[in-house]
């Protein structure tokens, strides 16, 4: 994944106050908007520092295969209430 795309997704998540979900070859990370102190896109990796200072996560761009801006979903009224699908 390239740096420009990652930066664009980070800015979208920040702008909307949304969570950022990162899939890499090892794990899936959810970066909650209210718990993040700093997200930095370096030359070859993404660095996420949490507000409580207890965790700093480094993810190499080459290992990222999916980024998702997770927006809050409104519940739907009617016959479809309670049903949804999540692809991940």
pTM: predicted TM-score of the whole model, two decimal places: 0.71
Bigger pLDDT: 62 or 84? Answer: 62
- Tell me if 31 is assigned to some domain: yes
- Tell me if 35 is assigned to some domain: yes
The answer on pLDDT for 82 being more than 70 is: no
Domain membership of residue 12 as a residue range: 3-70
- Give the tens place of pLDDT for each residue, 5-53: 989 999 999 898 899 999 998 889 888 888 889 999 999 999 999 888 8
Identify the CATH number of the domain in which residue 35 sits.
Answer: 2.30.30.100
Total of domains in the chain: 1
CA neighbor of 57 nearest in space, from 82, 77, 38: 38
- Tell me if 18 is assigned to some domain: yes
d(CA 19, CA 15): 11
29 burial type by CB count under 10 A (0-12 exposed, 13-18 middle, 19+ buried): middle
- Tell me if 75 is assigned to some domain: no
- Tell me if 77 is assigned to some domain: no
User: Residue 73: what pLDDT?
Assistant: 56
- Tell me if 87 is assigned to some domain: no
Q: Is 8 helix (H, G, I), strand (E, B) or coil?
A: helix
């Amino acid at each position: 994944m390239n740096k420009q795309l990652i930066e664009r997704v980070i800015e979208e998540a920040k702008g909307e106050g949304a969570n950022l979900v990162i899939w890499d070859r090892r794990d899936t990370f959810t970066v909650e908007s209210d718990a993040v102190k700093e997200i930095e896109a370096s030359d070859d990796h993404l660095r996420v520092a949490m507000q409580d200072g207890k965790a700093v996560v480094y993810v190499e761009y080459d290992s990222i295969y999916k980024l998702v801006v997770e927006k809050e979903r409104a519940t739907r009224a009617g016959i479809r209430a309670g049903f949804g699908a999540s692809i991940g």
